[in-house]
Structure formats: structure tokens, C-alpha cells
Amino acid sequence: MEWWTACLWGLAGSAAVEALELYRAIQRVKGFPWRMPDEIPLAPYAVAVVIRNALGAGLAAAFGSSGQIAGPLGALAVGVAAPKIVEQLLRQGLSHPVVEPVPIQVTQTLPRAEEPSSPSEAPPQPTPSMGGGAGVA
């Protein structure tokens, strides 16, 4: 999947979450929440929406360009789950120490192929009649 396609699907997923949250807020306060005295004003609300949508689009683009997403549904899901993905990545990154790989030591060698003892056992050498020539017919 192209990174920009995944980006658009991730944006659609995060925008769907924001639309659902706005719908719930409108139903809860019976109007736009930024017009109510005890609710968040419009400017901070708009900034939060932009951040959330950028996070969904950016993560979906990153997952898509690295081959972690196979199709539109995966990119849409990354957009929906973007805040939780970042939360889990931060938690995993901060809780696990860096593990250095253990060097591999070769302890066994493979037996060498035996040389043919007589010319009759040797594989045939290419000749012009066998198609192995220099190209002059």
C-alpha cells in the first residue's frame, strides 16, 4: 500500500472517531459544546481535533510505508486506534531494556564436496553444440 493512500485512510479513521465524539458532545449538551459555559472553548477543541487527525494519518502512513498494513481496512483501524497505539508504544519503549543480540559462533563445518576421481565422473563441460559457446554459429 502506498504511504499516501494509507495516510488518507488513517485520516478517515481518526476523523470518524472525532465525528462520533462531537456527535456525543452535541447530544449531551443539546448544542455545540464550545458554546456552553462549562465546556471546552472552540480554539482548544479545534487544536485537539487537528492533533488527533494528524496522529491518525501519520501513524497510518508509517505503518503503510513499512508494509505493516495490507489494505484500507488496516489503515482505517490504525487511524481509529492511533492514540492507543502511541500509548502502547511509549509504554513498551519505556518498560523494556535494550537487548543486545548474542553473537553466533560457528561450531561445526560442513563437509567439502569430494573431487571426482576420474574424468568420466566429472560433469560435462559446455561445448558450442550444447549451447555454451561464444555465440558464433
User: From residue 105, how far is each of 2, 48, 66, 101 by CA, in Å?
Assistant: 40, 53, 31, 12
What's the pLDDT tens digit per position in 81-97? 999 999 988 888 755 56
pTM over 0.85: no
Closest CA relative to residue 62, chosen from 49, 74, 45, 44: 74
Predicted confidence band of residue 105 (pLDDT cuts 50, 70, 90): confident
What's the pLDDT tens digit per position in 11-69? 999 999 999 999 999 999 999 999 999 899 999 999 999 999 999 999 999 999 999 99
Residues 6+ apart with CB under 8 A from 11: 53, 56, 57, 60, 79
